[in-house]
């Protein structure tokens, strides 16, 4: 019976061509879109963890209350002994001390008076102990001119700020900020190079300095605003992160002491968890949307095909087939064309996605106008779930289309079908 | 003899009885007369309470009229040598560690001075209340055991930092004992409480003041005037930019 139906489908080009093309096109688009979204999500995850959140982050409880404001005056101070203990207890994590700060950058004229001022955000990272942080922040790739800082007192500045402030490499600039106690503080730095991260929010005006210099400037010996922790394979593991943060907080965090440490998983920081959830839900909604839209397209093509096949249906009813059997055979045909079209779509989508997985897509133009932290080159990411999420809507939409179109069979009177057969 | 002194004292006290046909402007003039001098030199301590710790910052300050002000921080060691100069509407800070003189302007004026509850803008305020505000007397109350007028001050210009103030003026000493400073929207921004007032060189002058930024958590900033001299001769070069780097 199946073979008979399948042969029937493939001997009539009108029955398979359009449904298969539609399913193929839709599924390949879905595969590519999902793999692109997955790549985008991973890029966001990587970039956000590098610059903002780590996979886990340790801050003081007071700091955690105002996490988005990054109040470094509530930083953890003299934290090195504790950090050594945490490193022993959680060897699967790699740690990075950071101070994120806002400052005014003041450029002197030849007499030492203010020539121009601007606002910058600052990243204080460990630049000299080893190159882990340099690699993590991708500073070598971000370097546009000059060189990376090689000694204390040197900073990198973003290209836009560099040009706006009419600086030259090697110029001395003064950063004005507040100490951890709120007093105004100033420190001179020499510009060793310019950088561009490729993200508008960072590139508008940012400086990167060594954490020891900023500790001295901010009067926070052995302190860090945030201590980021990364999984060794550099991939975020939500369940493991949740387990570690729970264990850490039970051991080291004291609700009575606002300056005791508190660990936060990446998903617990600001709206990162929400955004990640949106990415996941986005895939579900896109699948449902595709089923709906394709269902309508295939419903229409099924209706056209059904009208063309009224004669055939009339004949089949005349020789004793029930309406239910005719309807069922239509669904089987649709299932078959749906499976074939979706498989082809998966193959095509996979091929396109693999291309972008290998060569990536240049998003630098988009990033220049956006504030979401993603890399300039986005690489599509394929995984089995992506393929399944694309394949199922392809088959379902073909079935839904056929089911809707085939419902017309039940509305037709047998006599009417006979009449149409005669004509 | 004793009787004559008693009568004199009684007469003097009757002369300064509260509410006896004195206008709001006259009150402000008397307050200004206490607070503003041709020149002055003071040593002050500022105790700044933050969530993390309390710090004491000491300074020596010089003023000429109400538009020239020079201050040098003497303690703690980290801030020693930091100098501040105000000339009319300009404000400069000299930092000895960087050997830089920076002009404070724009948004920076709203920043806290040494982490205190005072902003640079507060330092920029000209001293005379009568020049900046129109005033009316609201009521008479007793504040901290002292008879006071409650006055409402409304800024005469838009560039005055606090568009409204409610102040409690000691009826006898013509010193402000408590102030509330408001934004144009009516939001309370700061409160100022004088808890110690001393008679110095014929003036009543507050020597212990608590400034509280109502937008910040914390206990406020205590400001102590340890010594103050009025109408002294100060070399003119004290109020010059060159002095900052000396």
Model confidence at A76, pLDDT cuts 50, 70, 90, reads very high
Chain A residues in contact with B98 (beta carbon < 8 A): 174, 186-188
Q: What is the pLDDT of residue A41?
A: 85
CB B51 to CB A74 under 8 A?
yes
pLDDT attached to residue A216: 94
- CA-based nearest distance A208→chain B, Å: 19
Closest chain B CA to residue A220: B52
- Digitized pLDDT (tens) for each residue of chain B, 246 residues in all: 344 433 333 333 333 444 457 899 999 999 989 988 899 999 999 999 888 888 999 999 999 987 899 999 999 998 999 999 999 888 899 999 898 998 888 777 888 888 889 888 887 776 678 888 999 999 999 999 999 999 999 999 888 889 999 999 999 999 999 999 999 899 999 999 999 999 999 999 999 999 999 988 788 999 999 999 999 999 988 999 888 887
Instruction: Please classify residue A160 by burial: count the beta carbons closer than 10 Å to its beta carbon, then call 0-12 exposed, 13-18 middle and 19+ buried.
Output: middle
Per-residue pLDDT, A317: 76
Distance from CA of B11 to the nearest CA of A (A): 51
Distance from CA of B209 to the nearest CA of A (A): 20
Q: Which of A195-199, A412-416, B98-102 has the lowest mean pLDDT?
A: A412-416
Q: Do A186 and B111 touch (CB under 8 A)?
A: no
Q: In this structure, what token pair is assigned to residue A51?
A: 């610059």
Of A100-109, A292-301, A412-421, B28-37, the range with the lowest mean pLDDT is A412-421
- Residues A150-175: pLDDT tens digits? 999 999 999 999 999 999 999 999 99
Nearest-CA distance from A129 to chain B in Å?
Answer: 26
**Residues in contact with A391: Cβ distance below 8 Å, sequence separation at least 6, in sequence order:** A27, A342, A343, A345, A346
Q: Does B111 touch chain A (CB under 8 A)?
A: yes
End-to-end CA distance of chain A: 29
Does A306 score more than 70 pLDDT? no
Residue A180 has pLDDT above 50, yes or no: yes
Of the listed ranges A229-233, A354-358, B21-25, B179-183, the least confidently predicted one is: B21-25
**Which residue in the set B98, B102, B115 is minimally distant from A183, CB to CB?**
B115
* Predicted pLDDT at A3: 73
* Span A123-135, pLDDT tens digits: 999 999 989 999 9
Domain B20-244 has CATH 3.40.47.10: no
Closest residue by Cα to residue A212 from A133, A112, A108, A120: A133
- Chain A residue numbers touching B102 (CB-CB < 8 A): 106, 114, 174, 176, 186
Confidence class of residue A289 from pLDDT cuts 50, 70 and 90?
Answer: confident
Mean pLDDT (chain A, rounded)? 86
d(CA A123, CA A205): 11
User: How far B216 CA sits from the closest chain A CA (Å)?
Assistant: 12
pLDDT over 80 (residue A374): no
Identify which of A62, A104, A258 has the shortest CB distance to residue B108: A104
The ranges assigned to domains in chain A are 2-47+274-422, 71-224
Calculate mean pLDDT across residues A28-48: 86
- Yes or no, beta carbons of B52 and A108 under 8 Å apart: no
- Identify the band that residue A45 occupies on the pLDDT scale cut at 50, 70 and 90: confident
CA distance B114 to chain A (A): 3
What's the mean pLDDT in A350-371? 80
Task: Evaluate whether A298 touches A394 at the Cβ level (below 8 Å).
Answer: no
What is the residue-wise DSSP string for A259-274?
TSEEEEEGGGSTTHHH
The residue of chain A with its CA nearest to that of B108 is A104
Q: Which residues of B touch A104 (CB under 8 A)?
A: 108
pLDDT at site A418: 63
Q: Find, among B190, B136, B140, the residue nearest to B161 by Cα.
A: B190
For residues A301 and A307, the answer to whether their CB atoms sit within 8 Å is no
Choose between A350 and A312: higher pLDDT.
A350
Which of B78, B108, B112 is closest, CB to CB, to A182? B112
pLDDT, mean of residues A223-243: 93
Structure tokens at A279: 């990415």
Chain B residues with CB under 8 Å of A183 CB are 48, 55, 57, 78-79, 114-115
Please give the pLDDT value at position B199. Answer: 95
Distance CA(B115)–CA(A182), nearest Å, equals 4
Residue A44 has a pLDDT of: 85
Hey, is the C-beta of B66 within 8 angstroms of any chain A C-beta?
Answer: no
Least reliable range by pLDDT among A28-32, A301-305, A351-355, B112-116: A301-305
Q: In angstroms, what separates the C-alpha of B101 from chain A's closest C-alpha?
A: 6
> Cα–Cα distance between A219 and B13 in angstroms, integer?
54
Q: For Cα atoms B235, B239, B245, give the angle at the middle one, nearest 5 degrees.
A: 105
Compute the average pLDDT of residues A368-386.
Answer: 75
Residue A2 has pLDDT above 70, yes or no: no
Residue A187 CA to residue A212 CA, distance in Å, equals 12
Task: Please judge whether B50 and A181 are an interchain contact, meaning their C-beta atoms are less than 8 angstroms apart.
Answer: yes
* Three-state SS at B243: helix
| Interface contact A112-B101, CB threshold 8 A | yes
pLDDT of the residue at A370: 59
Element (H, E) at A415: helix A414-422
ipTM over 0.95: no
Q: Tally C-beta pairs within 8 A across A and B.
A: 66
Of the partner residues B101, B112, B116, the one whose CB lies closest to the CB of residue A113: B101
Give pLDDT, residue A146.
96
Question: For residue A21, what pLDDT is reported?
Answer: 87
What pLDDT does B2 receive?
A: 41
- B41 bridge partner residues: B62, B229
Q: List the single residue in A with minimal CA-CA distance to B106.
A: A117
Among candidate residues B43, B3, B100, the one with its CA nearest the CA of residue A105: B100
Using a 10 angstrom Cβ sphere, with 0-12 exposed, 13-18 middle and 19 or more buried, the burial of residue B165 is: buried
Cβ–Cβ contact B103 with A under 8 A: yes
pLDDT (tens digit per residue) in A323-345: 888 888 888 888 888 899 899 99
Instruction: Determine, for residues B97 and A176 on separate chains, whether the beta-carbon distance falls below 8 Å.
Output: no
């Amino acid at each position: 019976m199946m073979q008979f139906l399948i042969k029937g489908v493939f001997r009539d080009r009108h029955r398979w061509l359009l449904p298969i093309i539609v399913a193929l096109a839709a599924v390949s688009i879905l595969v590519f879109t999902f793999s692109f979204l997955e790549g985008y999500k991973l890029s966001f995850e990587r970039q956000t963890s590098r610059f903002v959140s780590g996979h886990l982050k340790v801050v003081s409880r007071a700091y955690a209350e105002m996490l988005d404001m990054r109040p470094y005056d509530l930083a953890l101070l003299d934290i090195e002994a504790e950090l050594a203990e945490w490193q022993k207890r959680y060897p699967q994590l790699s740690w990075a001390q950071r101070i994120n700060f806002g400052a005014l950058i003041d450029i002197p004229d030849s007499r030492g008076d203010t020539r121009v001022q601007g606002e910058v955000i600052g990243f204080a990272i460990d630049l000299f102990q080893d190159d882990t942080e340099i690699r993590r922040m991708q500073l070598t790739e971000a370097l546009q001119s000059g060189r990376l800082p090689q000694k204390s007192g040197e900073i990198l500045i973003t290209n836009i700020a560099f040009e706006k402030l009419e600086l030259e490499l090697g110029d001395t600039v003064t950063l004005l900020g507040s100490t951890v106690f709120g007093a105004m503080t100033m420190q001179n730095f020499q510009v060793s190079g310019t950088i561009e991260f490729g993200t508008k929010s960072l590139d508008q005006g940012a400086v990167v300095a060594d954490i020891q210099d900023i500790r001295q400037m901010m009067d926070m010996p052995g302190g860090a605003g945030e201590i980021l922790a990364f999984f060794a394979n550099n991939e975020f593991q939500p369940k493991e992160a949740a387990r570690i943060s729970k264990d850490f907080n039970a051991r080291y965090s004291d609700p009575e002491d606002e300056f005791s440490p508190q660990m936060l998983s990446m998903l617990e920081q600001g709206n990162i968890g929400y955004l990640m959830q949106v990415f996941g839900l986005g895939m579900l909604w896109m699948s449902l949307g595709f089923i709906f839209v394709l269902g309508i397209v295939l419903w229409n093509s099924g209706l056209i095909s059904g009208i063309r096949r009224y004669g055939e249906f009339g004949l089949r009813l005349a020789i004793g087939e029930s309406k239910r059997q005719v309807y069922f055979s239509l669904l089987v045909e649709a299932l078959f064309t749906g499976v074939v079209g979706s498989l082809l779509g998966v193959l095509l989508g996979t091929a396109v996605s693999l291309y972008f997985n290998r060569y990536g897509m240049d998003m630098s133009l988009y990033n220049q106008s956006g504030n979401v932290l993603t890399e300039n080159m986005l690489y599509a990411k394929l995984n089995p779930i992506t393929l399944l999420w694309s394949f199922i809507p392809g088959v379902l939409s073909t079935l839904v289309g056929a089911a809707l179109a085939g419902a017309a069979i039940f509305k037709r009177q047998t006599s009417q079908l006979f009449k149409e057969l005669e004509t | 003899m004793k009787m004559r002194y008693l009568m004199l004292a009684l007469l003097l006290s009757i002369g300064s009885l509260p509410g006896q046909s004195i206008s709001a402007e006259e009150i402000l003039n008397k307050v200004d007369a206490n607070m503003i001098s041709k020149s002055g030199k003071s040593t002050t301590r500022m105790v700044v309470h933050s969530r993390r710790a309390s710090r004491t910052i000491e300074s020596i300050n010089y003023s000429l009229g109400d538009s020239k002000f020079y201050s040098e921080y003497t303690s703690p060691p980290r801030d020693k040598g930091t100098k501040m100069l105000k000339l009319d509407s300009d404000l400069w800070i000299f930092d000895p560690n960087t050997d830089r003189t920076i002009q404070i302007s724009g948004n920076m004026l709203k920043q806290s001075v040494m982490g205190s509850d005072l902003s640079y803008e507060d330092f920029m305020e000209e001293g005379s209340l009568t020049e900046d505000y129109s005033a009316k007397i609201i009521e008479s109350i007793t504040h901290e055991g002292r008879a006071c007028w409650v006055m409402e001050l409304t800024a005469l210009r838009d560039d005055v930092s606090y568009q409204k103030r409610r102040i409690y003026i000691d009826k006898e000493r013509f010193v402000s004992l408590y102030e509330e400073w408001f934004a144009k929207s009516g939001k309370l921004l700061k409160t100022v409480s004088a808890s110690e007032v001393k008679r110095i060189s014929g003036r009543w002058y507050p020597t212990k003041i608590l400034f509280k930024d109502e937008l910040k958590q914390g206990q406020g900033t205590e400001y102590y005037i340890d010594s103050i001299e009025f109408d002294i001769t100060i070399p003119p070069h004290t109020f010059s930019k060159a002095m900052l780097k000396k």
